[in-house]
Amino acid sequence: ETGVTQSPTHLIKTRGQQVTLRCSSQSGHNTVSWYQQALGQGPQFIFQYYREEENGRGNFPPRFSGLQFPNYSSELNVNALELDDSALYLCASNLRGSGAYNEQFFGPGTRLTVL
């Protein structure tokens, strides 16, 4: 069973650029969530996708967008990068089932630095 993987590991961009981060869900999982973890903070929920549709969004502007593909891999896109977007971006997957709370499995993250 393959765990959650993310690419790239590290990324450096400049203000105003656009970035795409990628996530491959754990095998069999149909739900993916993205989180932003700033230095010294806990992960903050960006949005979640279930069966290729957005299923909830945190307090992030529209320039943060996402996609989930039929194979349940996912992308996070950020447009017009700002310095404050520098953070660790975490992807988590889970199998949405009959239970209300399904354990989320996290990838190792992508460290984004915006200069």
Q: How near is the Cβ of 7 to another protein at its closest, in Å?
A: 13
Q: Rounded to an integer, what distance in angstroms lies between the CA atom of residue 51 and that of residue 96?
A: 10
Q: How near is the Cβ of 71 to another protein at its closest, in Å?
A: 20
For position 61 contacting another protein by CB under 8 A, the verdict is no
User: To which residue do tokens 């981060």 refer?
Assistant: 21
Q: What are phi and psi of 84, to 5 degrees?
A: -70, -10
Q: What are phi and psi of 85, to 5 degrees?
A: -80, -10
Q: How near is the Cβ of 45 to another protein at its closest, in Å?
A: 5
What is the token pair recorded at 32?
């993916």
For position 23 contacting another protein by CB under 8 A, the verdict is no
Nearest to 40 by CA among 2, 87, 85, 104: 87
Site pattern 24..43 for another protein (x: CB under 8 A): ---------x-x----xxxx
Q: What are phi and psi of 44, to 5 degrees?
A: -115, 130
For position 107 contacting another protein by CB under 8 A, the verdict is yes
Q: How far is CA 106 from the centre of its chain?
A: 10
Q: How near is the Cβ of 23 to another protein at its closest, in Å?
A: 11
Tell me which stretch binds another protein (CB under 8 A): 14-22, 61-69, 75-83, 99-107. Answer: 99-107
Binding residues for another protein, rule: CB under 8 A, are: 4, 33, 35, 40-45, 48, 56, 58, 90, 92, 100-101, 103-109
